[in-house]
Structure 1
Amino acid sequence: MELDPKLLNIATLLIATLIAAKFIATFLIPRSHKRLPPVVKSWPFIGGLFRFLKGPIIMLKQEYPKLGSVFTLNLLNKNITFLIGPEVSAHFFKASESDLSQQEVYQFNVPTFGPGVVFDVDYSVRQEQFRFFTEALRVNKLKGYVDQMVFEAEEYFSKWGDSGEVDLKHELESLIILTASRCLLGEEVRNKLLDDVSALFHDLDNGMQPISVIFPYLPIPAHRRRDQARKKLASIFSTIITSRKQSGKSENDMLQCFIDSKYKNGRPTTESEVTGLLIAALFAGQHTSSITSTWTGAYLLCNPKHMAAVLDEQKNLVNKHGEKVDHDILSEMNVLYRCIKEALRLHPPLIMLLRSSHCDFAVTTKEGKEYDIPKGHIVATSPAFANRLPHVFKDPDSYDPDRFGPGREEDKAAGAFSYISFGGGRHGCLGEPFAYLQIKAIWSHLLRNFELELVSPFPETDWNAMVVGVKGKVMVRYKRKVLQC
């Protein structure tokens, strides 16, 4: 059978074009001199989407031993380059916003926090808003907050009986909502509107789904409830702000700090901005504190050695200061601090930190390999994975608070950014001191007043949540201690 001359000409032309293109690509177009990171094997177009949604930690555990501390995952039309470990993550934490930006990768927060705050404003405005947070968390403010934390803990646990069984996770979540409401949202919410506001925050929280990261405005029921809750919260806080301004009343809470805050040009904050900043503060603090409080308790109740150490510390502080607990006394609780810090190392609630790269930069691994990270990549690191690297932390999967003690300090031995539960560098968590004080206030009260025993199995991690916490109930049997006369 003879070939159609027209088809033969087309085929010849196509082959010639492909050969010419190959020749041009090989010899005429300059080759890239970039030393690109290795790429995770994945499907065409969708890349590693399914593996990523299944769980980034699972993917990291599989790829880190094969590819090392720097590698790229293709995800739809995006490239995510992971930097794992202190040797390669310094630029991630220290780079300026113009080089590595938060704004693009955290746009999914905008529907929750609202317009005109945090990731919905340019960097200069966001820096000023972060200054408002910093001023609201200064030591003189924290001292007042601690008094409220201690009061809430005493009130809450006074309602426990002489003995019984409770779900510790539920109890700590409930208490921290009360504490956060008083310290952050104000007494109007704490005393009158707590149930309403808590329900609305629940809808906001449930509106943050994994799909929300990619499609934050997708018209699904969870997003509709989120948007309705945001409007109702704005209305509630508008009423409270107006009432305070008209009465001239001033309170010791974060709400008041935001009301009184002014930008450098003298402009005061708007009601919408105050509401958005409060929502951001509660989102940042409520989950992380309740989750870390629960893990701290679970580990202490399963480790007699460390439980004995924190009990001895509390006994010594009572002998020194009496039953009083304030900011300065909480600051002396170094043993309890290390126990909380170790629980947070093993279970950081935020398992992924992200940036958008606006320029090329280079990193060098601990083995001496150099890689160039291209402009346009999303750059990521994982506290949940990096906090368990065996070359940084000895027996990384074991609970050992003494690793942070004098003479060891494993979080410093491998250099800066070895311990990243609270992030670090330019974007370190502003609420870290508040979180430690809150958890110390709760656990110092429990340790002094109750004998506790974990009666359910040691809890598992809930990897399905956006903020990774404790799965299921954490049942604890308690018995109130008899006060010594």
Structure 2
Amino acid sequence: MDIFSVLKNAMAGSITDIALVIAVVVFLTILVNVLQQVLFKGPNTPPMVFHLLPVIGSTVTYGIDPFKFFFDCQRKYGDVYTFILLGRKVTVYLGKHGNQFILNGKLKDVNAEEIYSVLTTPVFGKDVIYDVPNAKFMEQKKLIKYGLASGSLRTYVSLMEDEVRSFLKRTPAFKGSSGTVNLPPLMAQITLFTASRSLQGKEVRQKLDSTFAAYYKALDDGFQPINFMLPWFPLPQNRKRNAAQRKMTQVYTKIINERRKRGDPKDSEDMIWNLMQCRYKDGTPIPDHEIAHLMIALLMAGQHSSSVTSSWIMLHLAAQPEMMEELYREQLRVLGNPANLLTYENIQEMPLLRNVIRETLRLHPPIHSIMRKVKNPLPIEGTTWVVPPSHVLLAAPATMGKDDAYFPNADIWDPHRWESIGDPMDQEKEKADYGYGVVPTGADSTYLPFGAGRHRCIGEHFALQQLTIVASVMVRTFRLRNAEGKKGVVTTDYSSLFSRPMEPAEVMWERRSENFSKQDLLNGC
């Protein structure tokens, strides 16, 4: 029976024949796709990762474990290769040269807005971040960065510590002297509360316990990989996302208006106050709806990376209790009494805690892939390859942090390794001003937890301070260890856009004694 007979019979309505036709079509599709890859290799395009299905391509293997996918392909194809991701041709360029090529690419050649706007604009709102021309985005980053200067960071220390202490006292999961908890949801709440109180003021922080809670959850659910392809599809989570975005905009706008009416726009050095005073370069004040949308972006964007990093820190300390006790002794050395409060100055005197954070960001980078849309044909130096405008470029700087060539025994969490490496930020010599102040480009570094180039994270100092304060209070309050029967730490969940601990990620906790003695201080020294 030839294919035409099968089609004719299928049209007659036989379920068996319909299934057979589908099987034949799938087979022919796979066959044509394989023949194209084998017989029609382009001499001027990077090698294509072999795949059977033309649209699905390598989506599944990439999605399950991106780092395994990157390294497997690197061994077979080298640092540069192309794979199919939901119908898109994505060209990966690994290593220092790849980071420089992509993250410091010229604006006319590579574009971030076209990649990320479909995901962020429905969540953050119009006229901010990736929904504006790059020049305006750089202006907005400059205005936000002003509110993250060291003077502001100083005022945030006490606010953050108070939020962590209050959370640990009122949370049922930490009632009593010991217990077992699933850490990631609790660390997410701590991160959200500390960020909102310091950056956005007490009105926003108070609403997180009531009004904002449901809105935040709905917006958070909007950060799904499917929305890269179908951001406006009327899925239930997308309808809730859109409604929550409108409601949160109204709440922020109301806060702004109330501050203006009472003539008292300032609550510490919060970002709402900062932006209410700011103007663009042409003298135009920032419209209220843009302030509101920037506040939503601040609330959402940094929370994920900081919450997953704080979770990984605590999970590793639970797996290595001896390291937690080393940290506790450092706390005693710096603070004297564990009940003493943190200051901007004394948190700079905790090198081991700083190295714990560095090591955690190395081993568990929150973002594994950074993408840019190609705008012009881009030749790759030293090869005959040219990346065409139909492709997306993908940088994966975090792969170097997991490579033994750069970090011996890279799969081992060892904060002490940084004692010989030193501060990676001191090694960033090249700098540039993209419109929001001079920053290290850092694209040739082996350690880029905050990215590089014009889209480098402007909140890195805030995030490091936040992580330091959260970890400091946790270490002084608890002893942690793995739950019974568990060794090491949990695996990584790559199902969302952020690499996070696979849940449940449970640890056992024991509250430290409040009866601090002179011997404790001697042990700490």
Shorter-chain TM-score range:
0.7 to 0.9
Change (3 A) 1:62 1:406: closer
TM superposition score normalised by structure 2: 0.80
SS in structure 1 of the partner of residue 457 of structure 2: coil
Q: Is the 8 A contact 2:103 2:443 kept in 1?
A: no
Change (3 A) 1:50 1:377: closer
Task: Name whichever of 42-51 and 452-461 sits farther off.
Answer: 42-51
Q: Is the 8 A contact 1:354 1:379 kept in 2?
A: yes
Aligned to 2:55: 46
Question: Paired residue for 1:62, among 72, 84, 88?
Answer: 72
SS in structure 2 of the partner of residue 478 of structure 1: strand
Change (3 A) 1:76 1:459: closer
Q: Can you list the C-alpha shifts for 1:437-471, whole angstroms capped at 9, x where unaligned?
A: 11111111122233222325332212212222122
Question: Paired residue for 2:218, among 188, 198, 203?
Answer: 203
Which whole-Å CA distance do the structure 2 matches of 1:152 and 1:44 have between them?
50
Aligned to 2:372: 355
Change (3 A) 1:200 1:340: same
Question: Paired residue for 1:164, among 157, 178, 184?
Answer: 178
Which whole-Å CA distance do the structure 1 matches of 2:390 and 2:165 have between them?
51
Aligned to 2:33: none
Aligned to 1:104: 114
Q: Can you list the C-alpha shifts for 1:123-154, whole angstroms capped at 9, x where unaligned?
A: 11111111122111011011111121011122
Which whole-Å CA distance do the structure 2 matches of 1:476 and 1:193 have between them?
28
Which whole-Å CA distance do the structure 2 matches of 1:446 and 1:99 have between them?
46
Aligned to 1:481: 513
Which whole-Å CA distance do the structure 2 matches of 1:33 and 1:218 have between them?
35
Q: Can you list the C-alpha shifts for 1:366-387, whole angstroms capped at 9, x where unaligned?
A: xx76743334421102245342
Task: Name whichever of 65-74 and 55-64 sits farther off.
Answer: 55-64
Compute the displacement of 1:37 (Å): 1.7
Note the 1:84-103 alignment, pairs <5 A: 84-103=94-113
* Alignment-mate amino acid for residue 407 of structure 2: F
Which whole-Å CA distance do the structure 1 matches of 2:337 and 2:508 have between them?
30
Aligned to 2:148: 137
Note the 1:356-435 alignment, pairs <5 A: 356-363=373-380, 371-407=385-421, 416-435=444-463
Which whole-Å CA distance do the structure 2 matches of 1:430 and 1:182 have between them?
19
Which whole-Å CA distance do the structure 2 matches of 1:479 and 1:77 have between them?
52
Aligned to 1:274: 291
Query: Is there any run of 5+ residues in structure 1 with no aligned partner, and where?
Result: 1-31
Compute the displacement of 1:48 (Å): 1.5
Which whole-Å CA distance do the structure 2 matches of 1:351 and 1:197 have between them?
29
Which whole-Å CA distance do the structure 1 matches of 2:309 and 2:422 have between them?
23
Question: Paired residue for 2:472, among 436, 444, 459?
Answer: 444
Aligned to 1:247: 262
Which whole-Å CA distance do the structure 2 matches of 1:135 and 1:248 have between them?
22
Which whole-Å CA distance do the structure 1 matches of 2:481 and 2:208 have between them?
34
Change (3 A) 1:321 1:50: closer
Note the 1:211-250 alignment, pairs <5 A: 211-249=226-264, 250=266
Query: Is there any run of 5+ residues in structure 2 with no aligned partner, and where?
Result: 1-40, 429-441, 518-525
Q: Is the 8 A contact 1:360 1:375 kept in 2?
A: yes
Matched, 1:149 2:160: yes
Which whole-Å CA distance do the structure 1 matches of 2:83 and 2:196 have between them?
40
Which whole-Å CA distance do the structure 1 matches of 2:510 and 2:71 have between them?
38
Change (3 A) 1:265 1:450: same
Q: Is the 8 A contact 1:423 1:429 kept in 2?
A: yes
Tell me the matched-pair count.
451
Which whole-Å CA distance do the structure 2 matches of 1:50 and 1:34 have between them?
24
SS in structure 2 of the partner of residue 418 of structure 1: coil
Change (3 A) 1:268 1:128: same
* Alignment-mate amino acid for residue 69 of structure 1: D
Task: Name whichever of 121-130 and 302-311 sits farther off.
Answer: 302-311
Change (3 A) 1:33 1:452: closer
* Alignment-mate amino acid for residue 413 of structure 2: Y
Change (3 A) 1:481 1:451: farther
Identity %: 28
Compute the displacement of 1:321 (Å): 11
Which whole-Å CA distance do the structure 1 matches of 2:423 and 2:75 have between them?
26
* Alignment-mate amino acid for residue 261 of structure 2: Q
* Alignment-mate amino acid for residue 277 of structure 1: L
Q: Is the 8 A contact 1:345 1:421 kept in 2?
A: yes
Task: Name whichever of 316-325 and 227-236 sits farther off.
Answer: 316-325
Compute the displacement of 1:247 (Å): 1.0
Q: Is the 8 A contact 1:40 1:73 kept in 2?
A: yes
SS in structure 2 of the partner of residue 86 of structure 1: helix
Which whole-Å CA distance do the structure 1 matches of 2:146 and 2:263 have between them?
21
Change (3 A) 1:382 1:306: same
TM superposition score normalised by structure 1: 0.86
Note the 1:301-380 alignment, pairs <5 A: 301-319=318-336, 323-363=340-380, 371-380=385-394
Compute the displacement of 1:322 (Å): 8.4
CA RMSD of aligned residues (A): 2.7
Change (3 A) 1:415 1:469: closer
Which whole-Å CA distance do the structure 1 matches of 2:42 and 2:494 have between them?
40
Aligned to 1:21: none
Aligned to 1:472: 503
* Alignment-mate amino acid for residue 194 of structure 1: D
Task: Name whichever of 186-195 and 62-71 sits farther off.
Answer: 186-195
Which whole-Å CA distance do the structure 2 matches of 1:455 and 1:43 have between them?
42
Q: Is the 8 A contact 1:348 1:383 kept in 2?
A: no
SS in structure 1 of the partner of residue 126 of structure 2: coil
Note the 1:113-128 alignment, pairs <5 A: 113-128=124-139
